[in-house]
Structure 1
Amino acid sequence: MGEILVGTCSWTDRALVGSGWYPAGRRDPEGRLRYYAEQFPVVEVDATYYALPSARNSRLWAERTPDGFVFDVKAFSLLTGHTTRPASLPDGLPADSRDPAVLDAVWSRFTDALAPLREAGRLGTLLFQFPPWLQPGPRAEEVLADCAARTAGWPVAVEFRHPQWWSGERYDETRAMLRGHGFAAVGVDMRQGLPASVPPVTPVTSPELSVVRFHGRSPAWGTGSKEDRFRHAYTDAELKEWVPRLRALADGTARLHVLFNNCCGTAAVDAAARMRDLLDA
């Protein structure tokens, strides 16, 4: 069985910081990360979706965490086709993902900034969460092929948010495409029965890594505020139903990352700790 690392999708979420989970004396940026890394062996960096990372932060993250700890870094919004604030781009570049010069500059800035993290052995994977409007078809295949060319040699995990990618006959085609690019597939747990619900499938597309992200089961997914969409406290029954699936998934890959994205107060860290205990048992 491959190694299973359980953690959360942020250690800096405002609701977590304000919850009292971090002990007194460890609530500054360095103290928070060092404390989190004592509790869990993996974390997702969500801030890199909203703003390009810096090499300085990458070095600090590496210095403040122990050997074996890894960061899954979420791709910058422009690189996945999401709407991007012009102010978050370097040197006043226009937020136009169709301009090759803009894309080249952003890709270069993104990967250069993460080089210290990668060199220190702290990079778990680059996480590309594509928007719900990226549906299967020739255009999407071009986007993924370009992503593969630009990330050659880097670990990459892909999460699709359009349900057709993993529905019916398309399932095998999607799995084969990701495997061909060397991308790890990201499975998700989320509210089912909504138009945007992605089925909770767990395909193995890379011998090195699989990822499962737990978004919570809020009925406000896709409609409410961020807090509404992710406000969910996992029950023991909901976590236990995933235990055999996660163990089976780990049998097919060298490492499995299990990340909780229900970042409201301590809900994510509580669920991660409980899932870790269930898997250990």
Structure 2
Amino acid sequence: MATLVGTASWAEKTLIDCKRFYPPGVSSAEGRLRYYASIFPVVEVDSSYYAIPSQTMVQNWAARTPEHFVFNVKAFRFFTGHQTDVQVLPRAVKELLSGRKRLLYRDSAEEVKEALWRAFVLALEPLRAAGKLGMIHFQFPPTVTPSPRVTAHIEQCAERLRRDTLSIEFRHKSWWDGAERTASTLAWLRDIGAVHTIVDGPRGADNSVPAVWEATHPDFVLLRLSGRNAETYNADVPTAAERFNYEYSDDELQSLSAEMVRLAFKVKNAHAIFNNCDEDKGVRNAQAFAHMLSGQKAERGLSSRLADPEASSCK
């Protein structure tokens, strides 16, 4: 199966404002999604990190995209241990939190957790029903380091979403600190049936993780590319677009594509998501990467056939 290549969001403000991707006249939410889906086969939903979407909104996503289009959906920030503003919560949950302005998962009452899990699971039902839900992406903050409490929480997340496939992205280097820790992290992800997220990003800080090119799930491989702009990655910048302001060179993409093809042959579905979301850098890199992957796959297939006389004969 071919690797699906896309970007993290089709509605990033700088992408719309640069006016280099969406054609003139494509200005509505519906029009932008339909156009994006005519170019790419997969997208990562970023807005679900900030607030749980309504079922109506998710139904619209399913209805406005082709039959085999895939949505990877970011998990709501509450579930990944990020501080969450009460104002973004569903009305019924707000009523349980009179006087609270913010909340954290570990400090919240069980009835609040249950209500938010129920809302999130139900919100994604239209994508499940349409066969368009890929992975639910859990991106943990850099403060999350290996501990029994953290692994127990992630295992509980996997259990609550046992009908779905979870991809896990850690953003602290301690998860990959040395060969023994790396092997332990990968083995644990395999045990709980989660997808290891291969991260390409800047290097050199505690929240900069290495690109560990391994698969932990028989059905999925996920590569997320956030650019390599070390100057802005931890800078005090107002938007994610500025943080991930980076355009990959052709040489960088070629090197990445070779690794991706190697892993893609081991699983049923391979996804590459470009998160370098400043203006149209991500969409241009994604289109170039998809083209390179096609060439790499063809070359690998030809090499395999030439090495096997039986495989190369016409049948």
Contact map agreement 1:231 1:264 (CA 8 A) in 2: yes
1:124 aligns with 2:123: no
Contact map agreement 1:192 1:198 (CA 8 A) in 2: yes
* SS of residue matched to 2:288: helix
Q: Write out aligned runs for 1:194-213 (5 A).
A: 194-213=205-224
Contact map agreement 1:218 1:228 (CA 8 A) in 2: no
Partner of 1:218: 229
* SS of residue matched to 1:143: helix
Letter in 2 for 1:128: F
Letter in 1 for 2:203: Q
Partner of 2:199: 188
Question: 1:188, 1:214 → 2: CA distance?
Answer: 6
Partner of 1:44: 44
Question: 1:39, 1:129 → 2: CA distance?
Answer: 26
Partner of 2:267: 253
1:150 aligns with 2:149: no
Contact map agreement 1:178 1:205 (CA 8 A) in 2: yes
Output one character per residue of 1:134-167: Cα deviation in whole Å (capped at 9) or x when no partner. 1011111111111111111111111111111122
Letter in 2 for 1:196: N
Letter in 2 for 1:221: Y
* SS of residue matched to 2:233: coil
RMSD: 1.1
1:135 aligns with 2:145: yes
Deviation (angstroms), 1:227:
3.2
Letter in 1 for 2:59: R
Question: 1:184, 1:54 → 2: CA distance?
Answer: 26
Partner of 1:269: 283
Deviation (angstroms), 1:222:
2.3
Output one character per residue of 1:34-56: Cα deviation in whole Å (capped at 9) or x when no partner. 00001000000000000111110
Letter in 1 for 2:243: R
Partner of 1:23: 23
Contact map agreement 1:10 1:44 (CA 8 A) in 2: yes
Partner of 1:228: 242
Partner of 1:54: 54
Alignment coverage as a number of residue pairs: 280
- Which structure would you say has the larger RCO, counting Cα contacts within 8 Å and 6 or more residues apart? 1
Output one character per residue of 1:25-76: Cα deviation in whole Å (capped at 9) or x when no partner. 2221111000000100000000000011111011101110001100000000
Superposition TM-score, scaled by structure 1 size: 0.97
Q: Against the structure 1 CA distance between its residues 205 and 146, is the aligned structure 2 distance closer, same or farther, given a 3 Å change threshold? A: same
Letter in 1 for 2:220: L
Letter in 1 for 2:194: F
Partner of 1:97: 105
Letter in 2 for 1:187: I
Contact map agreement 2:3 2:272 (CA 8 A) in 1: yes
Contact map agreement 1:186 1:202 (CA 8 A) in 2: no
Contact map agreement 1:55 1:115 (CA 8 A) in 2: yes
Deviation (angstroms), 1:14:
0.2
Question: 1:259, 1:253 → 2: CA distance?
Answer: 17
Partner of 1:173: 184
Larger fraction in helix = 2
Question: 2:155, 2:29 → 1: CA distance?
Answer: 37
Question: 2:191, 2:147 → 1: CA distance?
Answer: 16
5+ residue gaps, structure 2: 98-102, 296-315
* SS of residue matched to 1:125: strand
Output one character per residue of 1:178-209: Cα deviation in whole Å (capped at 9) or x when no partner. 11111111101001122321001122110011
Which 4+ runs in 1 deviate beyond 6 A?
A: none
More displaced stretch, 218-227 vs 131-140: 218-227
Superposition TM-score, scaled by structure 2 size: 0.87
Contact map agreement 1:211 1:256 (CA 8 A) in 2: yes
